[in-house]
């Protein structure tokens, strides 16, 4: 089997920024609202939900948490309603979408009728609609353009959903250029979308099987699937490794993999890794019955793991800079010194012994040497913050060593977490020199 990943896959910059903002806030706060799903990916939404992200469809009645505007954006009227309730807005609207908002608002003020090319029910399109007084025509095809019955005495401005099908938009633009000189065209399809779609089609044209990874309700993932299907009959839209179309794949199959803008790298990595393992499993289990998942579970007695799992293993070797762990998987796990603890550990051999059991979280299924990358920091972090919270509640006094100073204050660490004392809090004396 030969597996090739498309050149452009995974989170786009807008989605990545929104998810990162949510993660940063949830480190400090236990609750955060998101107006609509922050991302069209159930696995990511569920993971953020465990940390305190609450998906809502309307503006909350209570002002008891910050409200995140996802990358799709919302209408101007929605922003104004939120501000009236004094709710803190975390605006994660994609910069490309904000540009569209600005275009339609300005053209609307100047007397233009607005035409939006996109999915009528997509949240991004509904958000754009809210920046032109909710008065716009929405089309998805050339036929719908003709059905608008364009008035040649009026001026029109046409924009597009950032993730719209580039081929369809091109045909609509060509039709307008030939027949409707009074329509000003703004190609607002994201460059990343164009590159993603082109790369996907190119890969599909030379693949026996094409796997498109992404949420079932992800608009841009559906478009990748539709475009790929035209050139590769065996194209499949899956959400994660559990839906890999194993019966269409054998050791001689050329498999192409692409993914929508809402698909995180770890899910793509899982699908590729599980597909690669199929070669070895097929060689060892050609006559074995059962589901593919059962074959994976029974393969060599190893367990199945995925990125983000918390697992236990046995330490098989220790060096000053890294620990090798038997995790009952086809590859051993590796914990580097930097990933062992928040606290400074100069030599791992002084704190870890061969044969002891250790708990860690899976960061990556395979590094450049084929080892599973593990970390203990994420597990330690929960306990550390809990301990710090208790210190605060108890009004405890702690001794720390100063590690850094600047004109603004001094820095130290409490249980491995960096802390800061502002210049005006160092002493009752005025104008203390932090150095």
Q: Catalytic positions, please?
A: 124
Strand, helix or coil for residue 134: coil
Residue 153 burial (CB count, 10 A): 6
- Return the half-sphere exposure (C-beta side, CA atoms, 13 A cut-off) of residue 50: 6
Instruction: Output the CA–CA distances (angstroms, integers) from residue 187 to 174, 177, 295, in the order listed.
Output: 12, 13, 49
Beta bridge partners of 160: 117
Alpha carbon distance 315, 348 (integer Å)? 12
- Best CA proximity match to 313, nearest among 359, 265, 352, 273: 359
Helix axes 166-179, 191-204, angle to 10 degrees: 120
Helix (H, G, I), strand (E, B) or coil at 44: helix
Using only C-alpha atoms, the chain has a radius of gyration, in whole angstroms, of: 27
Task: Report CA torsion sign: 68, 73, 79, 81.
Answer: negative
**242/364 Cα distance (integer angstroms):** 18
The partner residues of 213 in beta bridges, in order of sequence, read 238, 259
CA distance 434 to 408: 8
Beta strands in 29-187 (DSSP E): 32-35, 53-56, 66-69, 89-91, 113-117, 137-139, 156-160, 183-185
Dist CA 364 CA 367 (whole Å): 7
Q: Which residues contact 29 (CB under 8 A, 6 or more apart)?
A: 52, 65, 66
């Amino acid at each position: 089997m030969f597996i090739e990943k498309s050149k452009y896959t995974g989170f786009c910059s807008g989605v990545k920024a929104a998810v990162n903002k949510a993660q940063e806030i949830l480190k400090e706060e236990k609750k955060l609202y998101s107006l609509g799903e922050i991302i069209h990916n159930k696995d990511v939404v569920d993971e953020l939900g465990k940390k305190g992200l609450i998906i809502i469809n309307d503006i909350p009645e209570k002002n008891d948490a910050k409200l995140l505007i996802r990358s799709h954006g919302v209408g101007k009227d929605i922003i104004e309603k939120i501000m009236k309730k004094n709710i803190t807005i975390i605006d994660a609207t994609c910069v490309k979408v904000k540009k569209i908002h600005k275009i339609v608002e300005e053209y609307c003020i100047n007397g233009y009728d607005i035409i939006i090319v996109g999915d009528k029910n997509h949240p991004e399109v509904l958000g754009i609609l809210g920046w032109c007084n909710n008065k716009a025509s929405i089309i998805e095809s050339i036929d719908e353009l003709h059905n608008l019955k364009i008035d040649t005495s009026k001026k029109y401005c046409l924009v597009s959903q950032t993730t719209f099908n580039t081929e369809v938009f091109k045909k609509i633009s060509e039709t307008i250029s030939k027949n409707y000189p009074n329509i000003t065209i703004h190609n607002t399809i994201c460059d990343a979308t164009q590159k993603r779609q082109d790369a996907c089609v190119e890969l599909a044209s030379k693949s026996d099987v094409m796997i498109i990874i992404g949420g079932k309700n992800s608009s841009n993932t559906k478009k990748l699937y539709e475009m790929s299907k035209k050139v590769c009959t065996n194209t499949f839209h899956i959400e994660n490794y559990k839906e890999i179309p194993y019966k269409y794949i054998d050791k001689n199959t050329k498999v192409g993999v692409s993914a929508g803008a809402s698909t995180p790298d770890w899910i793509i990595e899982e699908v590729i890794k599980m597909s690669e393992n199929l070669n070895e499993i097929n060689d060892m289990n050609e006559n074995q019955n059962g589901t593919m998942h059962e074959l994976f579970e029974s393969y060599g007695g190893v367990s199945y793991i995925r990125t983000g799992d918390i697992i236990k293993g046995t330490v098989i070797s220790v060096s000053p800079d890294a620990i090798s762990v038997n995790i009952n998987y086809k590859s051993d796990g590796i914990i580097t010194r930097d990933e062992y603890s928040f606290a400074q550990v100069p030599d791992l051999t002084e704190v870890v012994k061969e044969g002891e059991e250790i708990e860690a979280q899976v960061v990556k299924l395979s590094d450049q040497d084929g080892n599973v990358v593990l970390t203990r920091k994420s597990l330690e972090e929960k306990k550390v913050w809990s301990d710090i919270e208790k210190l605060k509640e108890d009004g405890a006094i702690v001794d720390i060593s100063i590690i850094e100073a600047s004109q603004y204050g001094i820095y130290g660490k409490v249980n491995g977490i960096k802390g800061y004392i502002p210049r005006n809090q160092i002493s009752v004396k005025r104008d203390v020199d932090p150095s």
